[in-house]
A and B are shown apart, each in its own frame.
Chain A
Amino acid sequence: MIYDQILVRYGEISTKGRNRGLFVDKLRENVQYVLRDFPGIKIKANRDRMYITLNGEKLDEVCTRLKNVFGIQSFSPVVRVNKDMELIKESSLKLFQKLHAQGKTFKVQARRADKEFPYHSDEMNNLLGGHLLQNIEGLTVDVHHPDLELKVEVRKDAVYLTCEVIKGAGGLPVGSSGKAMLMLSGGIDSPVAGYMAMRRGLLLEGVHFYSPPFTSERSKQKVIDLGKKLAGVNGQFILHIVPFTEIQQLIYEKVHENYAMTIMRRMMLRITDEIRERQEGLAIVTGESLGQVASQTLDSMFTINEVTNTPIIRPLISMDKTDIIKIAEDIDTLEISNRPYEDCCTIFTPAQPKTKPKRDKANQYETHFDFEPLLQKAVNHIETIKLSSQEENQQNVFADLF
């Protein structure tokens, strides 16, 4: 193995003055969680950097997991050396030999964070560059477009050598901004909205409305699979599945077809808000994008939103569908979302839903029946599932078959 440690550079956290400790703790917790099945790993986080000591664990796999963790600007596999110029020279040479540097171009970029170190950056660049040139055949210097860039960081505790910078997911550590409920239908938009909200540090729990026999078990499975993808961000995702059949049927019995969709949305929002309160969240996240469908016109939002004053976060509100699809592709949810099963939004779609529903009319329709007990009943019969991104940690009924 070439590298023994991974150096993690924080993203925006670095700028968060007094809250910094909290952010760093959150990030360390999240990193610890996604790497929980690598027993050898040791994580040390200080104010500026996080160091993950591999202790023989597989570098590639650790890197793949880290790429998804929000709050990381970039990271680099590193070699840690004691602060001795001869050792630094020797390790740089070893690193270059292992990276097959013969015939390639390179440059050295030293940074001396610890100003007490006797050599300053330029001296180190020269010394190390010279040492490498002397000992590796065909190696040449190119300061503009080098094949290999050796970064040398002199810090208080040690010197860190690295040749690669891997881009992280950016954003803020999940959970550092608090908790919210994500309304998850199974379509393309809601998982993307969830992903973007998590990127800004929200810890999300999903809420899905399930109406058997009008929606199939497969549509539920679809949402579970989407939840697993979202769990990839910080290792787990909690999903609340709300039995919605009874309410949905009643709405279609009592409410004029044109307003059924609006009323249904209001009911969903009320239920989600109730779950939010029980789970101690402070916001609701939806995949709404302005004007995309009838329920997402400004008039509709105005009427639907009337039922709560909880902040509703709509990360996709001003995005075009094509851009949303692109993100869905990147986060690997598109294929799942595209599975062709009826969900709670597509079923019962009236031929002509109102695109400009009014608050007073909606309120009037809602006096036609007593929905409060039904909402309570639905909330009390929620099925809550803890999803994990790693299959093997889950209860698996088929386990003995594999």
Chain B
Amino acid sequence: MIYFDNSATTKPKKEVLDTFYKVAENYFGNPSSVHHLGLQAENLLSQARNQIATLLKTDEQEIIFTSGGTEGNNFIIKGVAEKYRNRGHHMITTMIEHPSVLNTCIQLENNGFDVTYLPVDETGRVRVEDVKRALRKDTILVSIMHVNNEIGSVQPIAKIGELLKNHPKTLFHVDHVQGVTKVPLDFHESNVDFASISSHKFHGLKGTGAIYIRKGLKLAPLLAGGGQERGFRSGTENLAGIVAMAKALRLGMLDYEAKIDTMMDVRDFLINELQLIEGVTMNTPKQNTSPHIINFSVQGFKAEVLVHELEQHGLYVSTTSACSSRTNEPSRTILAMGLGEERATTSIRISLSFDNTMEEAKQAVAIIKQSIKNLKPVMRG
């Protein structure tokens, strides 16, 4: 099996599962309990927070645990809307965000908010000037992803952060779910106010994530209850998942140090080889792109059919993003890049992990070539 769908989710690492099991078995106390078991659990929790904060170059107080990327994005956008609505009712985002951002914005629009959806250029990047032009006196939030989940384009977060320095009343949220461990981002240096990450995208487990909230900023909680996470996020902490996430993040960053060059070599190889196949066009831009996502379209091939054919040969990839592929929609990102309906409905996404090898890439290219050949008579017929 060649698993090339790591942007949908990754396989949890053995060491991470070990941690999960040990914590769930041995430290099952509720961190809020006053007795020793509770204290032990609380200590574990704070150690996990400390480790994650250090790895992300933030302060412990700036990390709040959540259930994952979707909750993180909902929490931040709705939390800002609620907390700062007296400042204004305008938000800025892009047309290529993850559904957990886009649909949250649509909910807010129904709630009296005004949202500007910025277009992107033909390489899938938002233009800083567009952000500048869209800013209004009543803009309370700019929400822009770091790495696009469909084609891998990397957004100019540092430049936008720089721009927003002159707009202290406009807060800046970055969906860092696809970026973390693959494209480094220093929240403090880039003037980011909020960011979200999700454990299962870096070999942790589903159901755990975290958000970064710049020290001193407030956010209305999404979940009311016992006041865990300093009142930001109630609900008994998923301690085993959180500690497992701390380990997964550490290992992920070690992988980055050791294997980022290999990953880029594998990506470049795939891009170069796939481009040579007749009917294949690259949707992933040449520059400002993440090392793990490759998106291409095969002219005349309905993406879903090709995915199933590849699967028959043991190669697992995606049509657009896993979240949108269920609804069979064309890729929103590719549409926004202005590449047309045809490219958007025939796009295939390969997403790598640090464990993927050049050998796998070679096999994958062969499988893709063969599958296109197999299907050609049918598709063209």
Chain A: residues with CB nearer than 8 A to chain B?
Answer: 216-218, 221, 335, 391, 396, 398, 401-402
On whether the beta carbons of A398 and B34 are closer than 8 Å, the reply is: no
- A218: chain B residues within 8 A (beta carbon): 34, 39, 42
A327 to chain B, nearest CB (A): 17
A52 → B minimal CB distance (Å)? 22
Question: Once the chains bind, are B34 and A391 in contact (CB under 8 Å)?
Answer: no
Q: Give the interface residue-count category, chain B.
A: 10 to 19
Give the segment of B46-54, B102-110, B112-120, B268-276 that binds chain A: B46-54
Q: Please determine whether A221 and B23 come into contact, CB atoms closer than 8 angstroms.
A: no
Q: Is the CB of B247 within 8 A of A221?
A: no
| Contact indicator A402/B246 (Cβ below 8 Å) | yes
Q: Is B288's beta carbon under 8 Å from chain A?
A: no
B9 within 8 Å of A (CB atoms): no
A217 near B39 with CB under 8 A, answer yes
- B48 adjacent to A402 (CB under 8 Å): yes
For A402, the chain B residues whose CB sits under 8 A away are: 19, 47-48, 51, 243, 246-247, 250
Q: Across the interface, which residues of A come within 8 angstroms of B246, CB to CB?
A: 402
B44 within 8 A of A: yes
Q: Are A401 and B44 CB-contacts (below 8 A) given A335-B61, A391-B50?
A: yes
Check: B374 CB closer than 8 A to any chain A CB: no
30 contacts between A and B (CB under 8 A): A216-B34, A216-B39, A217-B36, A217-B39, A218-B39, A218-B42, A221-B39, A221-B43, A335-B61, A391-B47, A391-B50, A396-B47, A398-B43, A398-B44, A398-B47, A398-B243, A401-B19, A401-B22, A401-B23, A401-B44, A401-B243, A401-B247, A402-B19, A402-B47, A402-B48, A402-B51, A402-B243, A402-B246, A402-B247, A402-B250
Q: Please name all residues of chain B whose beta carbon is closer than 8 Å to the beta carbon of A217 when the two chains form the complex.
A: 36, 39
In the complex, what residues of B have CB within 8 A of residue A221's CB?
Answer: 39, 43
Q: How far is the CA of A402 from the CA of B39 in the complex (A)?
A: 18
Output the nearest chain B residue to A220 by Cβ-Cβ distance.
B39
Instruction: Give CA–CA (A398, B243) in the complex, Å.
Output: 10
Q: List B contacts of A396 (CB < 8 A).
A: 47
For the complex, give the distance between the alpha carbons of A77 and B246 in Å. 34
Measured in the bound complex, the distance between the Cα atoms of B121 and A61 in whole Å is 38
A335 to B, closest residue via Cβ: B61
Chain A positions within 8 Å of B43 at CB level: 221, 398
Complexed CA–CA distance, A221 and B243 (Å)? 20
Please measure, in the bound complex, the distance between the C-alpha atom of A216 and the C-alpha atom of B51, giving whole angstroms: 26
Alpha-carbon separation in the docked complex, A271 to B322 (Å): 66
Q: A331 to chain B: closest CB distance in Å?
A: 14
A402 to B19: give the CA distance in the assembly, Å.
Answer: 7
Q: Contacts A401-B23, A402-B243 known; list 10 others, CB within 8 Å.
A: A216-B34, A217-B36, A218-B42, A221-B39, A391-B50, A398-B43, A398-B47, A398-B243, A401-B22, A402-B47
